[in-house]
Amino acid sequence: MHEFNFKNRRLYCEGVEVEELAEKYGTPLYVYSYHTLIDHFLKLQNAFLTVSPLICYSVKANSNLAILKSLVDKGAGLDIVSGGELKRALKVGCPGKKIVYASVGKTDKEIEEAIKAGILLFNVESEPELANINRIAAKLRKKVKVALRINPDVEPKTHKFITTGKLTNKFGIDFKAAEKILYSRSNFPSVIISGLHLHIGSQITESSPYMAAFSKISFFIRKLKNSGINLEYLNIGGGLGIVYNNETPQTAQLYAKKVLPILKETGLKIIMEPGRFIIGNAGILVVKVLYNKDNPLKKFIIVDGGMNDLIRPALYDAYHNIVPVKQSGRKSQVTSRKCDVVGPICESGDFFAKGRVLPQVKEGEYLAVMSAGAYGFSMSSNYNSRRRAAEVMVVKDKVFLVRKREEYEDLYRNEIVPA
């Protein structure tokens, strides 16, 4: 469900026509719907009401300050993975006590800054990292709360690049090693191991992988309790899948119904870290058609956005629905063609769609690449010395520019030519 809808054959974001936005702000342009964003957050919050979880939005999905601020104002916490994301979290006024910090490679500086910010929990991914946090906490004369990130070795049934909860992945600590750490916790006097964390992957559309992972961890928690180790938090990660094409992902309600009995059994305070579920369908990428180019084998629509703006198709062969922002007539009257939608970048992997049947579009018309809110702008780059796109947020009939398009000077601002 989202607030990108056609009215009189024109695509609107909430109360604003997308073509108007493209004309005013230029393309490629990211457009976000404030109400879709908040709606998705509230859906999850309502579904889990009985355990009143701390929902820490996963900043990596889309780290624009306006998006973070909108969610923090509604009570969300934030899930961060770097010093940069910590800075963003603090910049929008997220209380330290609502920040959780994962990442297999936290540096000393990042650990120190996070301790000073008084974050709620480090999600610790290895024993050497735990020892390092303990050392830095001791130096700062602080006692720091951590959760051990467990790698439960379950198959999340998603793309292999976004699978994280198998032992072939670099993430988390296996149960045996975690148990060993917990029994030897007195070796780490400046940390309090007060929780467990897991995140098994992303774009997970079924509840069975979650059930498998949560059952395993619940069993582990019981075992620990029996040996006198009591924890406070269970962080169940993110990963909830959304509709890109014809998937039928579990709804928040259905997910909650399935997993709540297992979660309640643990008696722990629940934290979760959704990213895509909240922002994925709250954003689109608008691009302009530059050229229609046919060769004897193929038809191409060349647009002004590329893999530097949205890398998901190139990286994961991900499907994004693509629609002209203006529908030109009755379906029966429109000529459709099978084509590739490609960008201007000098790589054959620079495509948004392959072999897609689309209505014939003219040069200068705009296309919307749907479901681009998550891992769109946040994974964008300056490849081919392209300026990163502008971003706008729509709130009913109001439009806010939430990131200016980069200037050419931004491209080489930090470069130095030796004399």
Contact set with ligand LLP (CB under 6 A): 58, 60-61, 79, 102, 162, 199, 202-203, 237-240, 273-277, 312, 316, 374-375
The least distance separating ligand LLP from the CB of residue 250, rounded to whole angstroms, comes to 13
The least distance separating ligand LLP from the CB of residue 274, rounded to whole angstroms, comes to 4
Cα 218 from Cα 175, distance rounded (Å):
12
The least distance separating ligand LLP from the CB of residue 198, rounded to whole angstroms, comes to 9
Q: How far is CA 173 from CA 56, 110, 121, 124, 264, in A?
A: 21, 21, 16, 9, 23
Which amino acid makes up residue 418?
P
With H, G, I as helix, E, B as strand and everything else as coil, classify residue 139: helix
> Of 143 and 160, which has the nearer Cβ to ligand LLP?
160
The least distance separating ligand LLP from the CB of residue 408, rounded to whole angstroms, comes to 28
> Of 28 and 156, which has the nearer Cβ to ligand LLP?
156
Q: How far is CA 85 from CA 124, 248, 273, 360, in A?
A: 17, 32, 14, 42
What does residue 191 show for φ and ψ, rounded to 5 degrees? -120, 150
* Tally of helices (H runs) and strands (E runs) in the chain: 12, 20
Q: Which helix (H) or strand (E) holds 312?
A: helix 312-316
To the query of whether residue 346 is one of the catalytic residues in this protein, the response is yes
Q: Which of 13, 56, 339, 346 is catalytic?
A: 346
Q: What is the largest CA-CA distance in the chain?
A: 74
Cα Rg, the chain, nearest whole Å: 23
> Of 22 and 278, which has the nearer Cβ to ligand LLP?
278
Instruction: Give Cβ neighbours of residue 317 (< 8 Å, ≥ 6 apart).
Output: none
> Of 112 and 273, which has the nearer Cβ to ligand LLP?
273
8-state DSSP, 332: G
Burial class (CB in 10 A: 0-12, 13-18, 19+), 55: buried
> Of 268 and 399, which has the nearer Cβ to ligand LLP?
268
The least distance separating ligand LLP from the CB of residue 159, rounded to whole angstroms, comes to 7
> Of 14 and 273, which has the nearer Cβ to ligand LLP?
273
The least distance separating ligand LLP from the CB of residue 258, rounded to whole angstroms, comes to 17
8 A C-beta contact, residue 132 and residue 105: no
Which amino acid makes up residue 376?
G
| Active site amino acids | 346
